[in-house]
């Protein structure tokens, strides 16, 4: 077993204290396991009573008592027979006997005791319970024994603990912030997207406002791609099974794909013969029956575009990009808002190049990512380089090629001045890769997309170009989807900005607030002018007080409000109230405001301080 770090020891000890408190309050509790986690700890327990939030408070109070008692953690070792007897004597046989069986023959069997509580455990722990200075129980969730849904469902009590009260307070504050920023909550409140059972789990319905954000982002990325020399293409969402058999995506990954769609003729023929479902499935895999696959990847389509014409080395690199929609069968338990879905659109591209061109192409990919991250104020990101495991033989391609590709990834990461880590064994079997991990304004990390070098698919599809020697050569392929998918990326952005999007991305950029009905004409005139300037604007037509209108615009997170009174109308002026600057930004001519707006949008200016701008709405 890996030794625990000091903070893990605190957290794990806390789970013993939790179990001890539970047994004091609910002596019939059966304990399973209580390991530390990345940010805290949990204990899986079985009891008839369904634990409530009030119970957590009572358990916490009991835990405080145990900590105050300053119990010592004492280790004892014993034989397997003694261990069985001990588990029975404390009445914990439901799970602990099975856990005892997990301990391999020859390894020490140990118990830890603090106060009256004794638990089968390998350790390690703090010396005394008073070492636990700051903890909190967070929630209760269902969890199956050993993670298997065929087993009994237990109650998992989550908690967290830190070395100091301050660190705990910071973490709890971060959790609060995360809750307020939750993209599922904001997505509903700001009318950005919808998931409907009638359509299917994990399928995103982009509503008008969310679609605007996505379109602006795509336009921005698309413009960068154009300047970087990409061909931007459109290809269908389904393709023949055979195509995905050639690429290797089917049937090897069939568990994570939607099942194939059987071709009409094959289906009719099989129905006539009363073929069983199992036989049909087999025939689809063997190619005896024909079918289509909802594509799990865009690569085969782009490969066919590359291969549709001959290439000279002078044409390379060929860069083919598409916002390509793919479908994967994620387990329903894994689905989560926009960040884990079953249908999503990758910001995908495939680059076909020579070995020599690899470094420059990888560099180009990273450059593009950096431009987009910088523009969105996600300056804190790191890259993870997945290298091959030198001791494994599962990789295709020549070692010398791998060395070159790995060096190219490293060099590109270095030239970016980004933090990077190298992780041997994390490469795909077909080539090394880079993953992007961004940190948002409240310090959470999000893994987005990747850049991967691939030696296999060019081989499988027998791709070639004519070299300077007039011979055929195999190109190298790069897959890159730096933001992963538009769904995930927009989900992350919603949380990053807490819904306060920079004006260029905001679904509604300006709202007009006429003080009374007589000012409707003036509002209509301005609305028309703003629309002509391609600004997304609406007018609040309700008759309630100005304060209510301002509040409504704030809730909708509209970056700029124009307050229109009689005087403004007479002088062709507007009173501006901006999100960044809560106080009135003063009265100015409409033309001056329009000029500032256009400048803010064109320069893609960020909200002055996302963290501050958000805290009020949180
Ligand atoms: Zn323990
Ligand atoms: Zn690909």
User: Which residue in the list 328, 342, 384, 560 is annotated as catalytic?
Assistant: 328
Percent of the chain with pLDDT over 70: 97
Could you tell me the distance, in angstroms and rounded to a whole number, from the CA of residue 175 to the centre of ligand 2?
A: 35
Q: Is 617 exposed, middle or buried (0-12, 13-18, 19+ CB in 10 A)?
A: middle
Q: Which of 173, 175, 212, 215 is nearest to 190 (CA)?
A: 212
pLDDT in tens, 474-517: 999 999 998 889 999 999 999 999 999 999 999 999 999 999 88
- Distance between CA 505 and CA 192 in Å, rounded? 12
Helices (H), ranges, 74-164: 80-89, 93-102
**Token duo for residue 203:** 């399928």
Residues linked to residue 109 through DSSP beta bridges, in sequence order: 78
Ligand 2: distance of its center to the CA of 478 in Å?
8
Whether the model clears a pTM of 0.85, i.e. scores above it, the answer is no
Catalytic annotation on 433?
Answer: yes
| pLDDT beyond 90 at 2 | no
Condensed to tens digits (0 to 9), the pLDDT of residues 181-237 reads 999 999 999 999 999 999 999 999 999 999 999 999 999 999 999 999 999 999 999
Under the banding of pLDDT at 50, 70 and 90, the label for residue 618 is: very low
Residue 346 is among the residues annotated as catalytic for this protein? yes
Residues near 285 by beta carbon (within 8 Å), at least 6 away in sequence: 250, 251
299 an active-site residue? yes
What count of Cα atoms within 13 Å lies in the side-chain half-sphere of residue 524?
6
Of the bound ligands, which one is closest to the alpha carbon of residue 117?
1
Tens-digit pLDDT profile for residues 10-40: 999 999 999 999 999 999 999 999 999 988 9
Per CATH, the architecture of 205-237+295-497 is what?
A: 2-Layer Sandwich (3.30)
| Ligand found nearest the CA of 124 | 1
350 classed as catalytic:
yes
Per-domain residue ranges for the chain? 6-163, 205-237+295-497, 510-615
Given the residues 14, 299, 353, 365, the one annotated as active site: 299
Give the closest residue to 112 by CA, choosing from 128, 98, 125, 94. 125
Catalytic position from the list 348, 440, 454, 556: 348
Residue 6 Cα, ligand 2 centroid: separation in angstroms?
42
Residue 320 CA: which ligand is closest?
Answer: 2
Given this model, what pLDDT does residue 265 score?
87
Active site residue 479: yes
pLDDT of 154 higher than 70 = yes
Q: Report residue 572: phi and psi, to 5°.
A: 55, 45
Of 140-149, 406-415, 544-553, the poorest mean pLDDT is in 406-415
Task: Indicate whether 613 pLDDT > 50.
Answer: no
Which ligand is closest in space to the CA of residue 351? 2
Q: So what's the architecture of 6-163 in CATH?
A: 2-Layer Sandwich (3.30)
Task: Check residue 614 and give its pLDDT.
Answer: 39
Q: What pLDDT, on a 0 to 100 scale, did the predictor assign at position 286?
A: 87
Q: From the candidates 125, 433, 549, 577, which is the catalytic residue?
A: 433
- The residue among 376, 368, 502 whose CA lies nearest residue 446 is 376
Give dist(CA 380, CA 362) in Å, integer: 20
Ligand number with the minimum distance to the CA of 33: 1
pLDDT band per the 50, 70, 90 thresholds, residue 261: very high
| Centre of ligand 1 from the C-alpha of residue 255, in Å | 37
Please say if 525 is a catalytic residue.
no
From the list 71, 346, 452, 509, the catalytic residue is 346
Q: Which residues contact 446 (CB under 8 A, 6 or more apart)?
A: 437, 438, 439, 440, 492
What CA–CA distance (Å, rounded) separates 560 from 563?
10
Give me the residues near ligand 1 (ion), CB cutoff below 5 Å.
121
Encode burial over 58-71: b for 16+ CB neighbours within 10 A, e otherwise: ebeebbeebbeeeb
Q: Is residue 255 very low, low, confident or very high in pLDDT (cuts 50, 70, 90)?
A: confident
Please write the tens of the pLDDT for every residue from 345-379. 999 999 999 989 999 999 999 889 889 999 999 88
Please give the distance, rounded to the nearest whole angstrom, from the Cα atom of residue 452 to the centre of ligand 2.
8
CATH 3.30.450.20 fits 510-615, yes or no: no
298-325 mean pLDDT: 97
Ligand 1 centroid distance, CA of 201 (Å): 39
Long-range contacts of 246-250 (CB under 8 A, 24+ apart): 246/300, 246/460, 246/461, 247/297, 247/299, 247/300, 247/303, 247/457, 247/460, 247/461, 248/456, 248/460, 249/293, 249/296, 249/297, 249/300, 250/285, 250/293
Active site residue 78: no
């Amino acid at each position: 077993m890996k030794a625990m770090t000091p903070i893990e020891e605190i957290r794990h000890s806390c789970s013993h204290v939790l179990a001890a408190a539970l047994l004091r309050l609910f002596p019939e509790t059966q304990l399973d396991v209580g390991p530390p986690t990345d940010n805290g700890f949990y204990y899986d327990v079985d009891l008839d009573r369904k634990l409530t939030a009030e119970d957590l408070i009572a358990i916490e109070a009991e835990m405080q008592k145990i900590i105050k008692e300053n119990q010592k953690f004492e280790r004892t070792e014993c034989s397997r027979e003694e261990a069985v007897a001990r588990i029975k004597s404390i009445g914990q046989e439901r799970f602990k006997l099975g856990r005892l069986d997990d301990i391999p023959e020859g390894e020490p069997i140990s118990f830890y005791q603090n106060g009256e509580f004794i638990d089968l455990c390998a350790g390690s722990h703090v010396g005394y319970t008073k070492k636990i200075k700051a903890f909190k129980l967070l929630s209760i969730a269902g969890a199956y024994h050993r993670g298997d849904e065929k087993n009994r469902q237990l109650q998992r009590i989550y908690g967290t603990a830190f070395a100091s009260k301050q660190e705990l307070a910071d973490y709890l504050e971060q959790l609060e912030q995360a809750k307020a920023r939750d993209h599922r909550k904001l997505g509903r409140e700001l009318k950005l997207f919808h998931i409907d059972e009638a359509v299917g789990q994990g399928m995103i319905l982009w509503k008008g406002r969310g679609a605007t954000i996505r379109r602006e982002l795509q336009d921005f990325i698309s413009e960068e791609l154009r300047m970087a020399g990409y061909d931007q293409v459109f290809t269908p969402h389904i393709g023949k099974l055979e195509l995905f058999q050639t690429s290797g995506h089917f049937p090897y990954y069939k568990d994570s794909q939607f099942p194939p769609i059987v071709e009409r003729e094959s289906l009719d023929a099989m129905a006539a013969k009363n073929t069983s479902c199992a036989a049909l499935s087999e025939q689809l895999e063997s190619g005896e029956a024909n079918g289509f696959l909802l594509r799990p990847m865009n690569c085969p389509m782009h490969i066919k575009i590359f291969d549709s014409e001959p290439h000279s080395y002078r044409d390379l690199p060929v860069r083919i990009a598409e916002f390509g929609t793919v479908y994967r069968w994620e387990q329903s338990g894994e689905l989560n808002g926009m960040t884990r879905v079953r249908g999503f659109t990758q910001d995908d591209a495939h680059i076909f190049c020579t070995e020599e061109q690899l470094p420059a192409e990888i560099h180009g990919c990273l450059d593009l990512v950096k431009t987009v991250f910088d523009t969105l104020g996600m300056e804190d990101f790191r890259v993870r380089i997945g290298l091959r495991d030198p001791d494994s033989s599962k990789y295709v391609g020549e070692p010398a090629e791998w060395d070159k590709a790995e060096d190219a990834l490293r060099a590109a990461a270095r030239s970016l001045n980004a933090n990077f880590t190298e992780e041997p064994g994390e490469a795909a079997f077909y080539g090394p890769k880079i993953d992007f991990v961004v940190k948002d304004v409240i310090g959470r990390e999000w893994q987005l997309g990747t850049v991967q070098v691939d030696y296999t698919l060019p081989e499988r599809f027998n791709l070639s170009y004519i070299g300077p020697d007039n011979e055929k050569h195999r190109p190298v392929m790069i897959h890159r989807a730096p933001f992963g998918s538009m769904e995930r990326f927009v989900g992350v952005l919603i949380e990053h900005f807490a819904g306060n999007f920079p004006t260029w991305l905001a679904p509604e950029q300006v709202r007009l607030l006429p003080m009374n009905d007589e000012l409707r004409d003036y509002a209509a005139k301005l609305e028309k002018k703003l629309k002509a300037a391609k600004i997304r604007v609406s007018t609040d037509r309700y008759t309630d007080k100005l304060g209510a209108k301002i509040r409504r615009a704030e809730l909708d997170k509209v970056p700029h409000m124009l307050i229109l009174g009689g005087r403004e109308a007479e002088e062709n002026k507007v009173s501006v109230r901006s999100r960044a600057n809560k106080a009135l930004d003063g009265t100015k001519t409409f033309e001056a405001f329009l000029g500032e707006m256009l400048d803010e949008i064109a320069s893609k200016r960020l909200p002055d301080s996302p963290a501050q701008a958000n805290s009020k709405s949180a």
